Structure 1
């Protein structure tokens, strides 16, 4: 039957003329009303609708009409806010703010002690207003008459018998007994003498007794008529005052006003952070700095079991006003973000996001640092477009701020916002700004920049990532600040996956090696660890590479050449030098091919004794076109001597050959120059004349396979070139190793002459025994 009545009422309410849409029915006990969740059709705002069916409750119609009348006129923060009332021939509607019966929480025992005290304080304060200011009696104070709003606050309802004691014909005198389950909640004097006894007792007696019953219900979950005054589960600090509320003698009962007064005393049961917060929140904007700081400290003391709805609906708006317009400062902002972490995504976007965007544009440094510190708490709730377009641009001013703390916090905040920035912003503006902080005069900021780059490496673009990271980390390895160097080594180890093997070998390892001898042991140890990581990777990659990139050839000449320059089975470091020396004559067959590209063949040097020393190369510091028309002779192989038959004598009749050789080699690096007189280290003077990379091939010269050396003939040949043989050959020309081209021909490296000297061909008898000392 009740279901049918509810369906009929819902059908009526859904009529086109009814401005509210009824939703789910909410269970409510001990009441003449049916409660529905509803929404306003105009703006879809939430509300609640109390419905009274006239046809089925004609005897209680005066109670419903009294409730409508009192709801329209009674206004108090502790009273349910009424939006509208509608009366028809069949139903009476009271439309209020969205509420939930307190009996739901009471039956589930889901209320904490602090929240219960806070709610009882609100109800007692409201009853004080009704009794003293409105000179009225509520009459049915119980859990079923109290509701919780969307903000979690307790609201007093159930005004069915609310009556002014100035009214001689008040409803409570005539219809008080018609209230559902009145016998269980009625005060003992009314049970004994009826409702008229109210006139002869204190005005507050009835509501004080009802407040005592509410206290028992809140802390125990249920109530029977014989439990009034029992202190089960009632907080010890409240027990004495609670007993006086339930006193059998109405003249000895504690009024709601005195109950609040006793609770507010120092150390009283109503001296809680939550109650103090409620009292002070509305005047937060009027408080001075010291009072505001005290308020925020109390706010921080609140635990997580306090009603979140109250903070969202009541505390948060006041805090936002204070921080944005009232100079609330960083502490208030911290409280805002703490509350904001419990908001849903939709609530956060509507309430906090616009304020946060405006605060980032605020030039106050303390506020900016607080925003950056708390950015991790709110970044997940901020939309990506908002962060990239409206938050990051003003945030960039922190990279260049005069205060080091702002620069440092801005660098740290990059880790929070990096996931919300576009690739263009990251690889453009952000990297430019981090390049500035990498050169900051504060060593801590430089260190944090290196750490930041290591942690955001995966977010950088592939085209610039390797170049940026190598440049940044290798630079940090030269930083005078020890922790900056350590951060560079740690970052290199952590970001190794982003470098190619070529970068690891050519760029990273050379940069790490100097740190192996760092003055700080911490850096040396970390450098060894980082170096080991990179070496393992390079070695592993090297194992996958082919043994050689030279293409295989079936030509027997190539095989012989290979055998000449080294024995593959010889693993010693001197292997090829020895094998080259021993196989020199046996493996070199045939003739050296003539020069290509039109180069003129070089005439062979006259035969000389095998024991005779080679003549020195004339040197000259004159320009290239002023040099004598003598082509450079081929240089000797290191670690061994050639026989005279292997020497290639340049053609002395052509001046242009010298120019072609110099042009072929071009300028030489300083690394090719060694000390003069060392027979194992060639001395080469760099030419400033650029030229092609390869020299022209030389004409073939037959080998001399033996015989006594012709020392006199060699001297005669050198006299034609007008060269001077120094005493004891102590300025012998250094031998430059003869390289070979891929075809097996010799490629000669010229030596710059420093000037021609006159050769004395007359042997000196007293010095002949010293001629070979220079080769030892």
Structure 2
């Protein structure tokens, strides 16, 4: 074997350039050719190479030259396709599509009846073309002249004595006896009168006889004498009578192959099978109407188990993909594509199906888009992560803004399938922007599914993004008028409770959940109670290890035990017990709003002076219908969120979009009324030192009272959770 390879390679190197490389040799019976597996040098594609050694077979050189000439000119789908040829003084090479000898399958008994019928139908169609359209005699029709392609189709070769009756000197009359084992396969009239005897016979007689021998060998194995051909035990019953007419010893009674073909194609004939109908339809799919295409696809799904796997992969699949992309096949055709693709390897999937899926996601056809989204679970495992993030996701997100609700809804659902193949920046950036819009969609089902989606992808969100987005999204859904949206929010909160710290649990989540306890719908009340229990347990767990108090330790006299604690203590009387201190703070706040709360701040440039504050009426601090605008002081945590590149939180807005009513204006104190009444009355002057203080002095002291009231109002407002999230959701 190695010696033969070296000899072939050496012969090629000495001759003209041949663009194909030789591989392993394939055994052939009854052939003048040596068959090799090969590859094309340019692109590495597979091929087969038929090689003829001139020096080793000089007597049969006319057969090889006749085959080469006929192979170059004969074009038919049922003929082995020629890629290139090379003829030198020492060798003849014919490069063809990759094929396997049919004899391999016959020897192993690997052919089922349906596949054999399909193959015989193809060979019969090709032979009808040879006999009638080309007016030629093949003369060498046998198992060794038939090959199978990668798609499982049977193709015809063996053109050593192919002759046209229009030629002056047909090769079959002169060289027919040079064929290997020609005596065993020769028709009876050739045995009696030689190959020249065919001149007085119909053009089909020898090929019809060989068609009969081909059928016998496929079903029963090789024969040694013509007497064995009368045994039809393994040949299908519907084919028995036509077979007997093909093997008639009287050439005038012999059935032409074209008639054999017509009998098989009749209704309920031996060639009227689902596999043959499928093959015929695939060949002409581009000219079929929608009704015929739908009927074909339905039959294909029902009979898919009867067809060879190679036929689906190499023959049906490429035609269906063309129909989907260019022939308007639509979702129905693509469903069959996915059915066939289940049997493909990963390499075959990536080279065949993945490019088509990427192109289809950019299609404007909504039916195709919805079908792709519905069937993503069947495809996602075969799609590389980079393909999804770079090519599919940018096209998929356009569905969030589609005018058709079904497209928006299916797009939201698809996120759960592709989330693991997206980058962190895509998840925490673009994706959250689109989900923020769909949570405010006009369709309640889309809002509900968005909430469910957020709950399920919570683990994929960034650490700094997760808590704020989930709290804002779920608490918004708790106010949704659609009952299932509220229920989904409660369930999502329960499922993502671990994402919230103790502060969020107590100040954001629990207050929002409490509203559900008195919901008009029972299912909401029940789910709210379950979610409440989850968060109470969560808070209990988070606070289990917290210290009993944050106050500094004191001695028996209420004095801090450390200098640092003493320096940090406020300049006021330290209460003797926690209860008395708390009671004092509450009673002081309720009795006198003028008590100083917080720390005195240094006036900033542009701020009103104490005199201006004194001269302003109390309503200047808080008037009905207005609210004090204060820029929020960002906490360190929020500042960190704002500079995080992976977070895009502003689109989620405030937890509570409902505007809060302004606090009622504080009532003027009795002391202020007395001062104002004296200011409006004229009094006689008193001796120096005993008169009323000038208005400037009063104005100088007044800001302390007004400053205190303003600070007290601020503490009360902040205590109700105004987080300064007043961002427009839209």
> What is the TM-score when the length of structure 1 is the normalising length?
0.67
Q: 2:462 is matched with which residue? A: 461
Paired with 2:576 and 2:223, the residues of 1 have a C-alpha distance of: 111
Q: 2:410 is matched with which residue? A: 409
Q: 2:689 is matched with which residue? A: none
- Residue 125 of structure 1 and its aligned partner are, at CA, apart by 0.5
Establish whether residue 8 from structure 1 lines up as the match of residue 7 from structure 2: yes
Q: 2:393 is matched with which residue? A: 392
Q: 1:272 is matched with which residue? A: 273
- Alpha carbons 1:34, 1:52 under 8 Å: kept: yes
- Residue 241 of structure 1 and its aligned partner are, at CA, apart by 3.4
Q: 1:485 is matched with which residue? A: 486
CA shift digits 1:207-245 (9 cap, x unpaired): 333333433444566666565354455444444434444
Q: 2:516 is matched with which residue? A: 515
SS of 1:31's equivalent in the other structure is: coil
- Alpha carbons 1:14, 1:22 under 8 Å: kept: no
CA shift digits 1:430-483 (9 cap, x unpaired): 222222221222222222222222232233222212221222223223333333
Q: 2:472 is matched with which residue? A: 471
Establish whether residue 63 from structure 1 lines up as the match of residue 63 from structure 2: yes
Q: 1:426 is matched with which residue? A: 427
SS of 1:208's equivalent in the other structure is: helix
Paired with 2:475 and 2:228, the residues of 1 have a C-alpha distance of: 80
Paired with 2:496 and 2:270, the residues of 1 have a C-alpha distance of: 59
Paired with 2:91 and 2:711, the residues of 1 have a C-alpha distance of: 108
- Residue 147 of structure 1 and its aligned partner are, at CA, apart by 1.3
Paired with 1:312 and 1:516, the residues of 2 have a C-alpha distance of: 59
- Aligned pairs for 1:613-632 (under 5 A) are 621-622=668-669, 625-626=672-673
SS of 2:282's equivalent in the other structure is: helix
How many residue pairs get matched? 601
Largest Rg, 1 or 2: 1
Q: 1:49 is matched with which residue? A: 49
Q: 1:100 is matched with which residue? A: 100
Paired with 1:303 and 1:466, the residues of 2 have a C-alpha distance of: 51
Q: 1:91 is matched with which residue? A: 91
Q: 2:298 is matched with which residue? A: 297
Q: 1:495 is matched with which residue? A: 496
Paired with 2:447 and 2:553, the residues of 1 have a C-alpha distance of: 53
- Alpha carbons 2:317, 2:340 under 8 Å: kept: yes
- Alpha carbons 1:229, 1:247 under 8 Å: kept: no
1:564–1:282: structure 2 CA closer, same or farther, 3 Å change rule?
same
SS of 1:18's equivalent in the other structure is: coil
SS of 2:304's equivalent in the other structure is: coil
Q: 1:37 is matched with which residue? A: 37
- Alpha carbons 2:552, 2:560 under 8 Å: kept: no
SS of 1:50's equivalent in the other structure is: strand
- Alpha carbons 1:109, 1:221 under 8 Å: kept: no
Paired with 1:513 and 1:387, the residues of 2 have a C-alpha distance of: 41
Q: Which range is displaced more, 124-133 or 40-49?
A: 40-49
- Aligned pairs for 1:63-142 (under 5 A) are 63-142=63-142
Q: 2:450 is matched with which residue? A: 449
Paired with 2:522 and 2:108, the residues of 1 have a C-alpha distance of: 64
- Alpha carbons 1:108, 1:221 under 8 Å: kept: no
Q: 2:727 is matched with which residue? A: none
Q: 2:158 is matched with which residue? A: 158
SS of 2:129's equivalent in the other structure is: helix
Paired with 1:146 and 1:53, the residues of 2 have a C-alpha distance of: 21
Paired with 1:473 and 1:115, the residues of 2 have a C-alpha distance of: 60
Paired with 2:5 and 2:259, the residues of 1 have a C-alpha distance of: 42
1:622–1:493: structure 2 CA closer, same or farther, 3 Å change rule?
closer
Q: Which structure dedicates a bigger proportion of its chain to helix?
A: 2
SS of 1:490's equivalent in the other structure is: helix
Paired with 1:394 and 1:368, the residues of 2 have a C-alpha distance of: 10
- Residue 279 of structure 1 and its aligned partner are, at CA, apart by 2.4
- Residue 266 of structure 1 and its aligned partner are, at CA, apart by 1.3
- Alpha carbons 1:31, 1:144 under 8 Å: kept: yes
Paired with 1:401 and 1:660, the residues of 2 have a C-alpha distance of: 59
Paired with 2:192 and 2:547, the residues of 1 have a C-alpha distance of: 109
1:112–1:447: structure 2 CA closer, same or farther, 3 Å change rule?
farther
1:667–1:549: structure 2 CA closer, same or farther, 3 Å change rule?
closer
Q: Name the Cα RMSD after superposition.
A: 4.2
- Alpha carbons 2:558, 2:575 under 8 Å: kept: no
- Residue 247 of structure 1 and its aligned partner are, at CA, apart by 4.5
- Alpha carbons 1:341, 1:378 under 8 Å: kept: no
- Residue 99 of structure 1 and its aligned partner are, at CA, apart by 1.7
1:148–1:554: structure 2 CA closer, same or farther, 3 Å change rule?
farther
Q: Which sections of structure 1, spanning at least 5 residues, go unmatched?
A: 567-575, 581-596, 598-618, 629-654, 673-776
- Alpha carbons 1:319, 1:336 under 8 Å: kept: yes
Q: 2:591 is matched with which residue? A: none
Q: Which range is displaced more, 521-530 or 480-489?
A: 521-530
Q: 2:17 is matched with which residue? A: 18
Establish whether residue 228 from structure 1 lines up as the match of residue 275 from structure 2: no
Paired with 1:236 and 1:624, the residues of 2 have a C-alpha distance of: 120
Greater length-normalized contact order (CA 8 Å, ≥ 6 residues apart): 2
- Residue 308 of structure 1 and its aligned partner are, at CA, apart by 4.9
- Residue 517 of structure 1 and its aligned partner are, at CA, apart by 4.5
Paired with 1:245 and 1:455, the residues of 2 have a C-alpha distance of: 70
- Residue 196 of structure 1 and its aligned partner are, at CA, apart by 4.8
SS of 2:229's equivalent in the other structure is: coil
Q: Which range is displaced more, 508-517 or 96-105?
A: 508-517
1:132–1:528: structure 2 CA closer, same or farther, 3 Å change rule?
same
SS of 1:228's equivalent in the other structure is: helix
- Residue 78 of structure 1 and its aligned partner are, at CA, apart by 0.4
- Residue 623 of structure 1 and its aligned partner are, at CA, apart by 5.6
CA shift digits 1:32-54 (9 cap, x unpaired): 21111223334444322111122
SS of 2:159's equivalent in the other structure is: coil
- Residue 70 of structure 1 and its aligned partner are, at CA, apart by 1.9
- Alpha carbons 2:501, 2:542 under 8 Å: kept: no
Paired with 1:132 and 1:27, the residues of 2 have a C-alpha distance of: 33
Paired with 1:326 and 1:351, the residues of 2 have a C-alpha distance of: 17
Paired with 1:6 and 1:621, the residues of 2 have a C-alpha distance of: 111
CA shift digits 1:9-50 (9 cap, x unpaired): 233224573322212222223322111122333444432211
1:480–1:14: structure 2 CA closer, same or farther, 3 Å change rule?
farther
Q: Which range is displaced more, 79-88 or 245-254?
A: 245-254
Q: 2:373 is matched with which residue? A: 372
CA shift digits 1:750-775 (9 cap, x unpaired): xxxxxxxxxxxxxxxxxxxxxxxxxx
> What is the TM-score when the length of structure 2 is the normalising length?
0.71
- Alpha carbons 2:139, 2:207 under 8 Å: kept: yes
Paired with 2:539 and 2:667, the residues of 1 have a C-alpha distance of: 48
Paired with 1:173 and 1:620, the residues of 2 have a C-alpha distance of: 127
